[in-house]
Structure 1
Amino acid sequence: MSTPYTLIGTPFSTFTRTIALGLHYKGLKFQQVTATPHSSSAQQHHPFGFIPTLVIHEVDGEKVEDILLRETHAIARFIDRVAPEPSLHISSGDGGAALEEKMWEMVSLIAFQGFPAVEHGVVKPRVQAIDDGHPSDAEVRENISEGVEKLRNYLKVIENLMGPEGFAYGSKPSWADFFLYPLLADLRMVTEWEDVASPRIRSWIGKMDELPAAQVTKPGTLSAGARP
């Protein structure tokens, strides 16, 4: 039986995992086609070869000519519209947030500041050194020391935006959690995690680990020992 949606993107991609988390959490049926950035499949579905893309085969239960929806923020908004419950939004006051829009503020800070801080600044150079067998640990630490410091400061900012316990904004997950989790699940696989992860960040990721959506989207990720 065909599914109404196809997710284009490798499970290794943090942004692709964000969308997979949302789809699973909301109980939407989909299939996933593994594609790395700039691969032929990615180029076929995105004008710049990026991932993820959500291919929409049905609208309101009716078959339609495939619609290609690109960019993680746009896909998240679509998912919310077709499956408003369980909600991945917050209410004013949740986790101390003054406005509902504070969640989207955090999402933007994660997508545009967190991704380069985590992946480019620390995780990718560390994993590359592990895979290549060089440079030495001491050399890697020196090479990424500036990135580690930037990441430490970045995580302090994010933590200050979080509520004091539970998920980012308290008792239930939101899109902010689903954008942050894939990044920090990657970070947890390198030694620098021990240097930058505060008790609040550690308790938060433990809470996220318990979600069935987090468990079912783990295969194929760095946290499962995979590579692109």
Structure 2
Amino acid sequence: MVMRWWSDRWTQSAGAFFLEKDAIFFASARDFLAGVLAAVVITCWNLAAVERNAIVQASQKPYQTLSSRYLYKTHKAKSGRNIHDASFRVYRSSPAMAELLLFEDIFTITGIDTDGKKFDKVSRIEARSEQFDMQLVLDVNIDVYPIARTDKFTLALSSTLRLDGTPDDGVFDQSRKKSLADKYEYVMYGKLYKYDDDESGGAIKIGVYVSFGGLLMMLKGDKQHLGNLKLDQRLYLLMRKV
């Protein structure tokens, strides 16, 4: 009887001990998981705050342009739509950007599809530049990049999208590395297939013709502003509205 009594007491005590240990373990595990969850929430909040600050700083930083007379700021919303601020200030371009771009100017649209619309998703725009007085005729995929008669835009030409100026192979880089394209809204890649001189009117002007997969561009003006462009050269066209 005594032995049985001691056995029952030991069993009850041991059971209570293990139940207590299990309760402590589960309470500790619960507190641990709650701590991990709180740490994850705090980390995500801090990362979101950093991203918001980066977006604000980027929106306040002017895009670089070759023209020292103009500054146009463009902000991109999270939806992907572009919100344009037409205010401008005096700005000095960086030498690195000047070396990277073969041409850049701000254009005012003078006509859209003046010969009639040929394709539903493509419009042919005519424009003239403000600084170099260049004449432009350009096919734009308006399904991807809508454009209106009242729009003004910056157009640039470059042989590479790499910020260090090294040549690229013309293939879309999915690594999300920073590139020249980040400073613009619409980019095409093509080949300069025709180059001609126009000496009418006294001043020597040249015209360059580029095909971007069938979308054509004609850019004509003073030779000194297009002297860096060569026949059969591969080019990027980059645009952003101002």
Q: Which has the larger radius of gyration?
A: 2
Higher helix share: 1
TM-score by length of 1: 0.26
Instruction: Please report the TM-score for the alignment, with normalisation by the length of structure 2.
Output: 0.25
Return the structure number with greater strand share. 2
Higher relative CO (CA 8 A, sep ≥ 6), structure 1 or 2? 1
